[in-house]
A and B are shown apart, each in its own frame.
Chain A
């Protein structure tokens, strides 16, 4: 538990990070630094997006797999690092 906390702290200390969410494979948030309603909102939507992205990548080449997904918008950037059982969502405000 402490390791996880430490990792989160490291990520949080980066410049511009607005929030971090760890979500399990079903899309249920496990750990978060945002408030509950936003967490749940993000988790639900991003889970679907990641599933779609992953299936796209694997469909094109079954040997391939998704390693990282970045969604850049006008106001901020959402970074998603998927894994077999969990994914990590980080929302950052880019410096420019």
Chain B
């Protein structure tokens, strides 16, 4: 570097010089006036010991040169000296030393510069004054604080306290040895302080109470927290679940199905599984394994509560007889009192076959209807007097105090026992007491009721009245037989029949024109004593009571008329909306019969759906089914209707026609040696015809609680109980010798759900009340439907049988024709032969019939045919 620098210095000096010469105004601002940049050659540098970077460095760039040296140099080298341009300045320079600065940084453009004035020299040599002067001025303030007086702040006390001072003089102990031992060697030894007693003095430390400080108060930090705080957080339910699913079933495509169906495995499966399935199916068919036998057992009549005194037979509950009134008299009809429990009314007749019309005149004893009460078996409670023997009587269903009866002489008689009902209602104990006290008079004071009204002899039946019935309160009948609405809701009409071949309808209400003639007071005795008063309930009927409607029964095919003995019609139950009105009426006011009048026929609405057909049992054992409405001819003439059909079911007199209390279209008829059950609507004949029995069936009646059970009374005093569901060809139970004579009447009665009675009367005037054993009055659960089914079956059987018969006949005819055709040449048979042949054929037909019937299980005795 050094060799280069001078060259550069030179170069630059040269350049600079030129530069300096050329733009003199430029250089002037570059350096101040008292500084002159110059170039020093290396020779000069050596002369003055200012060799660059050796004598003068960047760190110490100042070199003081003697001015005399410079002048000397100038003189010696004259123009070559570097100082020649500054000769004058140097000469004029006041000081002896001139500063030469090594300007390494070329701040003034040259390597060296000369400081021309001494002031500048001072300025440069000395540290930069202008800058430092300000700092020095500050320090000057800090360095030279003025001393202040010392103020005592109490520190000298503390210092005094802390300083250690002598509290007493120092003690001086001088040890000297005994004179004789002076100079001798000394031996020192150690001694433990603990060896001597007072070797040491211990100052144990003790707790100085001055220094124990009790903590009287301590600061604690607490934070109050609420006991209960509720906060809620909302979380996001990230778990998705199905709200609803819609799915379609998987199905196999056709091809897949075909494949499967043809596969081996399916075949094997079917073969394997089929026997099991078939077995299960058949098992199911054969028997119901899940049937609860125990429950089913409960259906039988033996089940239920075993009271222990379950009787097998008809237990005799009570027997009524009265030696005065009932003895040796045939009881013709009995009726239980519908409302008063335990009261029976019996009608008695004297057994006289001929001359029934003469009874009214040659009367030994007046005829009575006798009322018996359970409480008093040997004395009747009430007697109803009648002009003649009563063969049939009935208690009015709407008003149990009205009784209508039909006499032997054809009269219809009405009683009203409302005044005497109290006798029937007498409680047992007082009754007995009474009989004991008033022993003499008791029998005399049996209240007797006389008839309130009687029909006139001219207007009554010509023969004995054999059956009487009240029309139900639901409808009434006009003069033409048309059923119309019954506004009063009470039974107001009575139907009677008699072997004089007529049926009559009677109305108990006053006719339209009420003509109270004065002459009718003879039959009404109002002044008599209490037991004999007759109420004037039916006073309006007076003596001119005539039938409303009279029907004579024409025979179907032949001339003449039927002789009805018993009849039966369907009880009509009206619609529901009138039932409430019914009850209301009964409770609010019971219309007095005396106040009733026959309304005009136009005012009442016709009831078209009433079944106006009657079943009639005749003397000849036929059952006739006819309509009671009068038919109108084309010409406007009214005449009696023709019966719809007739069937000879019984051998002789029909003595019972009764509808089943459970089924409205099933009718039991009894007569002759058998009985029959009919279904209304089946015109071909009875659906059940019983086999002929040895004794005459004298009476039959349905059980009130069991649809399949009915009782038949016999000639020899036995009662048969039939149960259609168990056996249809013979009775389930036969109670022999219930009475000693022919049974004339049987009527069942339900007095309580556990006690069912059967009232049986006989020819000798005894009334027996028998208790029906439980098995005959407890119905089975499905008995009703079973019986219904049974009847349906029977009906079908009958129809089938008839069809079969017809087919048979047809076949026969055809075979005959064939025969005739195949054998055209035949000697014409004589009349006798024809007859014989016909007879034979007939017999064959009969046997065929027999066989068919036997095959079907419905073997009956062949009905009689009029042809032979």
Which residues of A come within 8 Å of B, CB atoms? 1, 3-4, 7-8, 10-11, 14-17, 22, 24, 26-31, 40, 43-44, 67-68, 70, 72, 77, 79, 81, 83, 85-86, 88, 90, 92, 94-96
Contact = CB atoms under 8 A, between A and B. Distances in A.
A44 B281 contact: no
A67 B284 CA distance: 17
Contacts of A11: 274, 277-278, 281
Nearest to A15: B285
A81 B284 contact: no
A15 B276 CA distance: 16
B285 A67 contact: no
Given A68-B280, A90-B281, A81 B262 contact: no
Interface stretch (B247-255, B477-485, B603-611, B791-799): B247-255
A28 B251 contact: yes
A3 B284 contact: no
A31 B267 CA distance: 13
Given A79-B277, A81-B273, A14 B285 contact: yes
B271 to A, nearest CB: 7
B252 A30 contact: yes
Interface in B262-290: 262, 265-267, 269-274, 276-278, 280-282, 284-285, 288, 290
Contacts of B267: 3-4
Nearest to A37: B249
B296 to A, nearest CB: 11
Nearest to A77: B284
9 closest Cβ pairs, A-B complex: A81-B273, A40-B249, A14-B281, A7-B270, A96-B288, A86-B269, A83-B269, A1-B261, A7-B274
B365 to A, nearest CB: 63
A81 B285 CA distance: 18
Contacts of A85: 265-266, 269
Given A11-B278, A28-B249, 7 more contacts: A7-B270, A16-B281, A31-B257, A68-B276, A70-B280, A79-B277, A96-B291
A92 B273 contact: no
Nearest to B282: A14
A79 B197 CA distance: 122
A13 B291 CA distance: 25
B285 A24 contact: no
Given A1-B261, A94-B288, A96-B288, A14 B278 contact: yes
B266 A22 contact: yes
B277 A88 contact: yes
B43 interface: no
B89 interface: no
A58 B261 CA distance: 29
A92 B281 CA distance: 8
B284 A4 contact: no
Max chain A C-beta neighbours (<10 A), residue from B252, B266, B288: B266
Contact of A30 (B266, B274, B277, B282): B266
Contacts of A67: 276
Nearest to B251: A28
A81 B288 contact: no
B260 interface: yes
A10 B252 contact: no
A16 B284 contact: yes
A77 B290 CA distance: 12
Nearest to B258: A1
A81 to B, nearest CB: 4
Contacts of B250: 26-28
Contact of A16 (B265, B266, B285): B285
A79 B284 CA distance: 11
Contacts of A44: 249
Contacts of A92: 281, 284
A4 B266 contact: yes
A43 B252 CA distance: 13
Contacts of A3: 267, 270-271
Contact of B261 (A10, A17, A31): A31
Interface centre among B249, B261, B291 (most CB of A within 10 A): B249
Contacts of A88: 269-270, 273, 277
A72 B284 CA distance: 10
Contacts of B288: 94-96
A21 to B, nearest CB: 12
B58 to A, nearest CB: 104
A30 B285 contact: no
A43 B274 CA distance: 19
A81 B266 contact: no
Between A7, A11, A17, A22, the greatest number of chain B beta carbons within 10 A of the residue's beta carbon is seen for A7
A44 to B, nearest CB: 6
Contacts of A10: 274, 278
A77 B252 CA distance: 27
25 contacts: A1-B261, A3-B267, A4-B267, A10-B278, A11-B277, A11-B278, A16-B281, A16-B285, A22-B270, A24-B252, A26-B250, A30-B252, A30-B257, A31-B261, A40-B249, A43-B249, A44-B249, A68-B276, A79-B277, A79-B281, A81-B273, A83-B273, A86-B266, A88-B269, A90-B280
Nearest to B265: A85
Contacts of B266: 4, 22, 30, 85-86
A17 B285 CA distance: 10
Interface string B226-260: 00000000000000000000000111100001001
A22 to B, nearest CB: 7
Nearest to A8: B270
Nearest to A11: B277
A18 B285 CA distance: 13
A31 to B, nearest CB: 6
B278 A24 contact: no
Query: Which of B249, B277, B291 has the most chain A CB atoms inside 10 A of its CB?
Result: B277
A43 to B, nearest CB: 8
Interface in B786-814: none
A91 B278 CA distance: 12
Contacts of B277: 11, 79, 81, 88, 90
B280 A4 contact: no
B247 to A, nearest CB: 9
Contacts of A31: 257, 261
